Structure 1
Amino acid sequence: MRGNKGNNKSHRANTDNQKQKNKSDSKFKPFMRGTLKVLKVCLIIGILGGFLGAGVAFGMVVASIHDVPDMDRDRLEVMAIPSTFYDTNNNQFFETSRDVSRVALSYDEVPQDLKNAFLAAEDQNFYSHPGFDITGLGRAAVNHLTGQPMAGGGSTITQQLTKQVVLRDSSTNLRRKIQELYLALQAEKFYTKEEIFEFYMNGAVHYRGNTQGVGAAANDIFGKTVDELTLGEIAIIAGAPNLPYRYTPTEDNKEGALQRRNHVLRRMYRSGFITAEERDEAMAEEIKLASSSNDESDYSNVKYPGFVTYIRDIEGIRILQEVYGWDSTQAENEMFNGGFKIYTTLDPKMQEKIENIMNNSNEYLAPVKDKDDNLVHPQGSATMINHNTGELVALFPGRNHTVGDSVRPAQSSRQPGSAIKPILSFAPGFENKTLTPGTVLDDAPIDFGGYTPENWDRRFRGLITSREALSASRNVPAVSAFWMNTRGNMAFAEELGLDYSTSPEAVLALGTRETTAIQLTQAYGAFANEGMLNETFAIKKIEDRNGRVVYEHNRQSKEVMSEQTAYLVTDSLRDAITPGLGTAGSVRNIFTNNAAAKTGTSSMSDGWLVGYTPHYTLGVWMGWDRNEGSIGSSNVVGTWARIMRDTHSNLPNTSFNRPSGLVSIPISTKSGKLPSDLTPSEFIRSHLFLSGTEPTEECDAFVEVEVCKVSGLLATDSCPPHHRETKVMLQPRDYLETDSRWELGRAGRVPEDISLMAPEDECDMHDSDAQPPSNLGYQIHGDGIEISWSSGDSGDRFNIYRSSSEDSEFTKLNTSPIRETHFLDTNVSQGVTYRYYVTRVRDEDSETRPSDFIEVEMHDGVQAVKNISAEKISGGVRVTFEESFGARHYRIYRSTSADTGFERVENARANGNVGQTQNFTDNKIEPGNTYYYYVVAVSGNDKADPSPTAEVKVLDDDTDNGDDASDDESNTSEANGNDE
């Protein structure tokens, strides 16, 4: 007959079975139970005493059976019970075997060939022994005494029944063997062989997935009832329970089932159950499976499938193995069908918020094509831990996860990239005091014995503090910090739960050693938890089917670093998510609570952000399972921030607890020492230090030097004074330039702060033996100031420099050297005083010392008239004068007295030719008089120079007034020709 799936109870075929049950139950009266127990104990002592000695045997037996479960029919007839999972609120969210396949058969309904196959494979003497194999039991006892494994103890079908159904324990120690023996004797006493065999075939044999018992196995594996099975199929049914997940055939794996089948057939032949012809014919059969073989239940609609898989297939299996001593196969079977209640750390609200974000395709890069032209989608995982307890509150294993798939945070080891830096480079140094947050490291090209690390941006920033190096994720300083104490740093990482049992290599500092997301997130939790590491766990408690607590998590915190070290790392990692300081500053566009985090990128296929608040630690990974595409940490930052924002929406914005023993002082970020008078303010920043490690010396990274502004080199006596500049600069240091050893970036790159470094060479642009230009002079024109000079060689070239009362810095006026010995400066203004000098440019474009300086004062408004003269001409007097800068017209005044009586006789329009001669003819004179003249220049706003520019006496006679006028002009010009 064909069996049915579901929670079928065992149905008896006839009333004789019920009668037998009543008969058996009547044997469990208290008096009989006690009497029989004494007899069985004596029997076991007698058996073991022959091997171990009576005294030893007695003690072992009494100790082993004092808490052995009772043997009763209900226990033997109970089939598989699903295990159930509960969240942190004690609400059930999963059941392992909601569709366990069970078909109960009576002893008579099982074909004789199938019974014979079990007898041949498991217990040929079943019908004749008293429940145990004396030879096998003796071998187990000897193995125990000699320290050998207890395997090979000769378990009979009766013992397997008691072990699988009553003890539910496959451990192989002598205590369990004694309990098996005791229960086997009890079963043999109270039940017939047929009943024991029936119990065994219905409840003690398990197959892959949720299949239990031979009736369900025939239906689920082959789509048949037991009486329809071929001999080859019968051998598979009888052989598979030995290792269900290896020997239960599937479409993808039939090899193990074939080997086990043939082994059973050979044993059936040797036992005389089949002929050689039947054996060979059965061994030649092709395995034909049912079209819908029951390998797993349908878990497509399960809540939290990733968390379920982690509990069911990883942590739960491990705990059951530890508690009961089961192997992995037995533990897996019991996880499905043992009826355990498993209380977990799952926070459903947190889990749902994380799943909503991580399942959003907008969080991921676009898919790419692999080498076979298949479309591959990027993946992601998220691990959230309550670092204060170690509880795994939420777990996202990957997109499109179904129960049974790989759990990436626990089973996929990936390179953490720069996310390892706090653990492997900086925190160990803070802890052993070889490093402080203010220790200055050189972010410069360095060759570590053939290894030449690059920075993520292909730049080298130069001297920076450890705190800056960590927050900005600089690779070269991280390697330098790691290399200070490689063994100690790797031991520190081991304490945090990471595997660094390997030889130290510089490249390890950049995260080339693979780890899982759970391990990495757990390690960061120690920073958040003030140096205390709580091992991550997801199962709080396990109860067996009888309600007994068989496991309860015992949290043990381990101090892996001081609370001061943990806070120093936290303080640095807060900078890592601060805009302008760290690589994940964009976090603050989304999540603004107190937090610390670190990015990581590795091999361009892994992107990480791992960080924490005072409440939770979260690790997010995104990337490509088989490195099909590239990704950066920037692709993860927004996802991490959104998860933190949503999961912290109802939590207080708590500050990190700053411990005692730390001091904050301002330091020079170029030396790590106290600022000196020379330390520029932009290189002074407060850093935290463990008390006693703060610097006490003043900064010596800077030096005051005088440099030539033209060459940028150290100034010498030959450099013009105005080219000299006193500057505060970095002390010179040795550095490398990148070359072919640095494969990822262009050659010739140097630390960026060498531009701040003081020059070591002296300026040679100003040769003291070369003669500068001489005889520097000037003339003011209407469109500017013309400078002129002398030079001994007509082929010389010259540069002209100018400063002013508005800008004291000298600047070069010509764009390239000129060959003329004059230069017109048209960019001048009234009311400004200008200074000029000229240098001679040599063939190699170096300059001589400067010429002498000249100073030109441009009056505000209008300049006074210069060089007035007068002469007697026919019919009058001609007055001449030099045009003034800024004049629009001129007023000419005349008097016959040298001191009074001047009247304006004429207005003359200016020509605009500064320095050229302007003239006026006065023809209204009378013979015999002496005339005095002066001229006033007037600007465009009608502002006149307030004082006469000159006085000229003209004697009006026919004999010598020209000479007199000439003399007067000469004398007056010398006396009054200066600008007023």
Structure 2
Amino acid sequence: MSRMYRRIIFYKKTNTFYMKKFAKIILFLFLLLFILCAAGVIYYHVVTMNAKLDESKLISVSDSTEFYDLNGKNMGSYVKNGKKTSIETIPSYTLNAFIAIEDKNFYKHNGIDYKGILRATIKDLMSFSFKEGGSTISQQLIKNTQLSGEKTIKRKLTEIRLTGKLEQKYSKKEILEYYLNTVYFGKSYYGIENAAQGYFDKKTENLTVNESAVLAAIVKSPNYYTSESNGEKLLSRRNLVLEKMFEQDYIKGYELNKLKNEKLKINYSKSSDKNSPYISLCLTELSEYCYVNPYELKNAHVYTYFEESDQKKLLAALNNSGGSYTGNGVLMKDKNHISAFYSPYPSSVCQPGSTIKPLAVYSPSLEENLINENTIINDEKTEFSGYKPKNYSNRYYGRISAKTALSKSLNIPAVKLLNSLGIDKSEKYLKRLGINLSDDEKGLSLALGGMKNGFTLTDLTSFYGIYRSGGIYYKPSAIRKVVSKSGRVLYSSNFYGRRVFSDATAYLTADMLSESVKSGTSSKLNSDKFTLYAKTGTVGSENGNTAAYSVSFTNNETLGIRLNNADNSYLPSFVTGSSAPTEAAAEFWNSYLKTSDTEIKMPGSVKEAYIDKDEYLNNGKFLLADDYAPESTKIRMLFDKKFLPTEKSPKYSSPEISDVEFYYKDSVVKIKITALKNVYSKIYRNGEEVYDTAAGNVFYDYNANTDETYIYEAVPYFFNGEKTIVGKKVVLGKIKTQKRDIA
């Protein structure tokens, strides 16, 4: 047998061996797959065998939520009797909008769109994300009404089982009606009829194509798309809904272009309840910040930071503020936990006026070492490239400190500082507070509160919390936790703080705001019983004021008061931030505070230093006072330790003569010496002491002999009560006396 033949036989045997081995592996894998599938089917039937479709939940649009205060006392209920609508009254284009964006194969599948799930999975894998959905309208209805928000395999399998039961029992028409009557649209609106009336003030049957597209856009992420700050994102998604309607032949091409060009018109601020303002605030928080399944919030228990005694004091202060205008107030403690709140319109926003000055101008300027508390600013009429701001009452103070400028809420210094700081740096710190400026807000008028919309009183008050928390911002919260009907904790308030400024900047800004209470626009809050820090603000024009603020705080609480009219009409001419709002704040603090321990403790990052008074007042320089300087020549100031002055004045440790007048006439020498206060000089004539300026700074020498040469010198000195410090000898002058004529 040849070698070649033997080799062929060997290869055949080897291939046969490997083919058999491969076949066994394939058989094993198929068997394993079969076992896994069988196990999966068995597991599916076991975990879902008790799954029952609760038909009552498919048509229920009512719920009752109980609210509890800080001590666990029931403070009220929120009962929502939702409105239902028949599918027969819903416009066809409204139905088509939801089908186009949520489930284009709704009429083709039996509840589960396997092609849709596969398509979404492939997209997720290709984009390395998990954003694509695959749930049909039938599945969404089951999730929204029958199941908890837990993300487990058991819950998903139960969803599939119940979806099958749903499809077997109800027609597509019925399923779509149930879905639209129970789906969540944000702002506590469950069901399309509630959403239509809440967002557009009309019944579902009167919705336009565009309004239908907006509602269909919202359901993907209700809390996100119904936040006023995300209006552009909602507009973009509305346009996506319209494009999907066009792709699926629900609208024509010319209709698409016309509809996409229509502006977004939606009522963001209308409240969906008529309960107490604090509960209304909680409902807003639930819809915007509590990231839980909104369907699980039905019949839940909400535990809050509400304190009845605080609420009573706040309401009393607001009621006594007088006038026909609306009083709004909020009290926050600790990490911006809201213990009291009142506002007929919890989500209404107003421009901040001068309350923005510390946040956008003074604190950033301190942080960037552009200023310290006592930096001199020239308060005078100034034009900034065509922009001509004015001080209140058109009054100007000349050279003043930054601290005084803020305490008096002067406009010119604030604009000057923002101009030097730069809008970009101010914006950097505002972003840390969650404040995003639009392009038309990025101007020097920002220093005076010139903003397009502004803030809710809750948000504005929470910003000031950074000054008592060492520069760290905490999102305001009225809710401690939310517990479902079954006892499961759905949400627990645990907002992490975000650093905005250093603790030094926070303390120094607070110190500046204490001056506002002592001698500035918040002086009506001044008390010898406790320490307060405050800022006022007034919004208006030459025609009148539309809002007035007082934001004040201690080391543990922040109080915000705003007076305005709901229709933004003018307030009485006498109402400014320093009047009625500050008076209301004063009444509150006087009834609320039971301790004098309200002062914010100075952090180690802030150091006190004594500055040379003369150099500061005359030249605006920050020189450390001489070690031997008298108390009357020093000013105590506070500095960020990083920016503490290092240069020291030598005025008293090396006393000097600042000016000398010396002349000789008619046999008399006159010497006048000028020096710092408490610095004197000993005058010497040819080395012999002849005078001490402690007796007066002018010396007349009548005792000079004729026809002699004299050298006059002086040695400056300073006596600090214990020690005499001597300066350098100075030659004052040299004379040759006249020779006397002999007759």
Amino acid across the alignment from 1:587:
L
Structure 2 residue matching 1:82: 3-state secondary structure: strand
**Which region of structure 1 is more displaced relative to structure 2, 247-256 or 445-454?**
247-256
Unaligned runs of 5+ in 2: 1-32, 214-269, 652-656, 661-673, 677-743
Deviations 1:798-830 (A, max 9, x none): xxxxxxxxxxxxxxxxxxxxxxxxxxxxxxxxx
1:310 shift after superposition: 1.8
1:390 pairs, out of 311, 336, 350, with 336
Return the match for 1:443 from 379, 383, 389. 379
Change (3 A) 1:75 1:599: same
Partner amino acid, structure 2, of 1:641: A
With over 3 angstroms needed to count, the CA separation of the structure-2 counterparts of 1:547 and 1:198, relative to structure 1, is farther
Match of 1:347 among 307, 316, 320: 307
Matched with 1:458 is: 394
1:518 alignment partner in structure 2? 458
Give matches, 1:327-338, under 5 Å: 331=294, 335=297, 338=298
- Match status 1:598 vs 2:535: yes
Aligned residue-pair number: 535
Structure 1 CA distance, aligned partners of 2:198 and 2:329? 35
1:525 maps to a residue whose letter is G
Partner residue in 2 for 1:634: 578
Partner of 1:723: none
Return the alpha-carbon distance in structure 1 between the equivalents of residues 427 and 184 of structure 2. Answer: 42
- Structure 1 segment 123-134 matched on structure 2, within 5 A: 131-134=111-114
- In the aligned structure 1, how far is the partner of 2:506 from the partner of 2:89? 68
User: 2 CA distance for matches of 1:611 and 1:248?
Assistant: 35
How many angstroms does 1:526 deviate by?
0.6
* Corresponding residue number in structure 1 for 2:161: 185
TM-score, with length taken from structure 2:
0.60
Cα separation, partners in 2 of 1:92 and 1:199, compared to 1, 3 Å = farther
Alignment of 1:797-836 (within 5 A): none
Residue of structure 1 in register with 2:638 after alignment: 688
**Counterparts of 2:207 and 2:562, CA distance in 1:** 39
Is the CA contact 2:411–2:448 (under 8 Å) kept in the aligned structure 1?
A: yes
- Cα separation, 1, equivalents of 2:490 and 2:593: 35
Q: Which of 145, 160, 166 does residue 165 from structure 1 map onto? A: 145
Q: 1:605 & 1:132 partners in 2: Cα distance?
A: 56
- Which of 410, 429, 432 is the aligned partner of 1:492? 429
Paired with 1:67 and 1:688, the residues of 2 have a C-alpha distance of: 72
Partner SS state of residue 436, structure 1: coil
Distance 1:179 1:652, change over 3 A: same
Question: Which one-letter code corresponds to 1:87 in the other structure?
Answer: D
Q: Which amino acid aligns with 1:167?
A: L
Give the alignment partner of residue 486 of structure 2, picking from 528, 535, 546: 546
For 1:262 and 1:508, the matched residues in 2 are separated by: 38
* Superposition deviation, residue 437 in structure 1: 1.2
After superposition, what is the alpha-carbon deviation per residue over 1:707-747, rounded to whole angstroms, capped at 9, x for unaligned? xxxxxxxxxxxxxxxxxxx999xxxxxxxxxxxxxxxxxxx
Aligned partners of 2:485 and 2:173: how far apart in 1? 22
Preserved CA contact (<8 Å) 1:209 1:296: no
2:421 pairs with 1:421 = no
Match in the other structure for 2:321: 363
The Cα of 1:458 is off from its aligned counterpart by 1.8
| 2:525 is the alignment partner of 1:587 | yes
Specify whether residues 690 and 673 from structure 1 end up closer, same or farther in structure 2 by C-alpha distance, changes over 3 A only.
same
Secondary structure of 1:512's match? coil
Partner of 1:214: none
Instruction: Give 1:248 deviation, angstroms.
Output: 9.7
Secondary structure (helix, strand or coil) at the match of 2:303 reads strand
Residue 588 of structure 1 aligns with an amino acid whose one-letter code is N
Distance 1:196 1:510, change over 3 A: same
Partner of 2:600: 656
Shift of 1:102: 9.6
What is the distance in 2 between the residues matched to 1:640 and 1:395? 14
Q: Distance in 2 between matches of 1:391 and 1:67?
A: 46
1:120-269 map, 5 Å:
131-147=111-127, 153=134, 155=136, 157=138, 159-167=139-147, 183-186=159-162, 188=164, 193-194=168-169, 206=181, 245-246=195-196, 252-253=202-203, 256-257=206-207
Offset of residue 523 of structure 1: 1.8
Q: Which one of 74, 79, 82 corresponds to residue 64 of structure 2?
A: 82
CA offsets per residue over residues 756-803 of structure 1, 9 Å max, x none? Answer: xxxxxxxxxxxxxxxxxxxxxxxxxxxxxxxxxxxxxxxxxxxxxxxx
Contact 1:420 1:511 in 2 (8 A): yes
Deviations 1:530-587 (A, max 9, x none): 2222221222222223222222222312232222222211221111111xx2122122
Instruction: For residue 125 of structure 1, report the CA deviation from its aligned partner.
Output: 11
Q: CA deviation at 1:689?
A: 2.0
Partner of 1:306: 277
1:570 aligns with 2:510: yes
Does 1:96 pair with 2:56?
Answer: no
Relative distance call for 1:467 and 1:547 in structure 2 (3 A) is same
Which of the two has greater helix per residue?
2
Does 1:378 pair with 2:315?
Answer: no
Cα gap change, 1:626/1:247 in structure 2, threshold over 3 Å: closer, same or farther?
closer
Contact 1:672 / 1:699 at 8 angstroms: preserved in 2?
no
Task: Report the residue type matching 2:547 in the other structure.
Answer: D
Cα shift readout 1:905-946 (whole Å, capped 9, x = no counterpart): xxxxxxxxxxxxxxxxxxxxxxxxxxxxxxxxxxxxxxxxxx
Cα deviation code 1:72-111 (max 9, x no counterpart): 44755454542222222222323222656899xxxxxx99
Shift of 1:431: 2.0
Q: Per the alignment, do residues 66 and 588 of structure 1 end up closer, same or farther by CA in structure 2, a change over 3 Å counting?
A: farther
Rounded to whole Å, the distance in 1 between the matches of 2:271 and 2:420 is: 53
Aligned partners of 2:306 and 2:339 also within 8 Å = yes
The DSSP-based 3-state class of the residue aligned with 1:491 is helix
Q: Are the aligned partners of 1:436 and 1:693 in contact in 2 as well (CA < 8 Å)?
A: no
Q: Give distance in 2, aligned partners of 1:647 and 1:534.
A: 23
1:154 to partner: Cα distance: 6.9
* Partner Cα separation in structure 1 for residue 360 and residue 167 of structure 2: 66
How far apart, CA to CA, are the structure 1 residues paired with 2:212 and 2:495?
49
Is it true that 1:316 corresponds to 2:309 in the alignment? no
- On the 8 A contact 1:187/1:196 being kept in 2, the answer is no
Secondary structure of the 1:662 match is: strand
TM-aligned CA distance change 1:505 to 1:201, over 3 Å: closer
Q: Would the alpha carbon gap of residues 440 and 667 (structure 1) be closer, same or farther in structure 2, given more than 3 Å must change?
A: farther
| 2:296–2:484 contact (8 Å) kept in structure 1 | no
Residue 394 of structure 2: SS of its match in structure 1?
A: coil
1:323, 1:550 within 8 Å by CA — same for their partners in 2? Answer: yes
Separation in 1, partners of 2:563, 2:140: 47
Are 1:431 and 2:372 matched, yes or no?
no
Tell whether the 8 Å contact from 1:87 to 1:343 is kept in structure 2 after alignment. Answer: yes
* Alpha-carbon offset, residue 137 of structure 1: 4.1
Q: Could you tell me which residue of structure 2 aligns to residue 673 of structure 1?
A: 622
Q: Distance in 2 between matches of 1:242 and 1:643?
A: 43
The 1:588–1:494 alpha-carbon spacing in structure 2 relative to 1, beyond 3 Å, is same
SS at match of 1:435: coil
Q: Aligned partner of 1:364: which letter?
A: G
Structure 1 distance, partners of 2:550, 2:381, is 27
Percent of counterpart pairs with the same letter? 23
Structure 1 residues 196 and 67, CA gap change in structure 2 (3 angstroms) = farther
The verdict on how the C-alpha distance between 1:633 and 1:296 changes in structure 2, with shifts beyond 3 A counting, is closer
Quote the offset at 1:252 in angstroms: 4.1
Q: Is the 8 A contact 2:550 2:585 kept in 1?
A: yes
In the superposition, relative to structure 1, how do residues 607 and 67 fare at CA in structure 2: closer, same or farther (>3 Å)? farther
Question: Distance in 1 between the 2:211 and 2:353 partners?
Answer: 49
Q: Which amino acid aligns with 2:161?
A: L
Q: Which residue of 1 aligns with 2:689?
A: none
Look up the equivalent residue of 2:450 and give its one-letter code. Answer: T
* CA deviation after TM superposition for structure 1 residue 610, in Å: 1.1
The equivalences for 1:922-937 within 5 A come to: none
Q: What is the Cα deviation at residue 470 of structure 1? A: 1.6
User: Alignment partner for residue 589 of structure 2, among 616, 637, 644?
Assistant: 644
The aligned counterpart of 1:927 is none
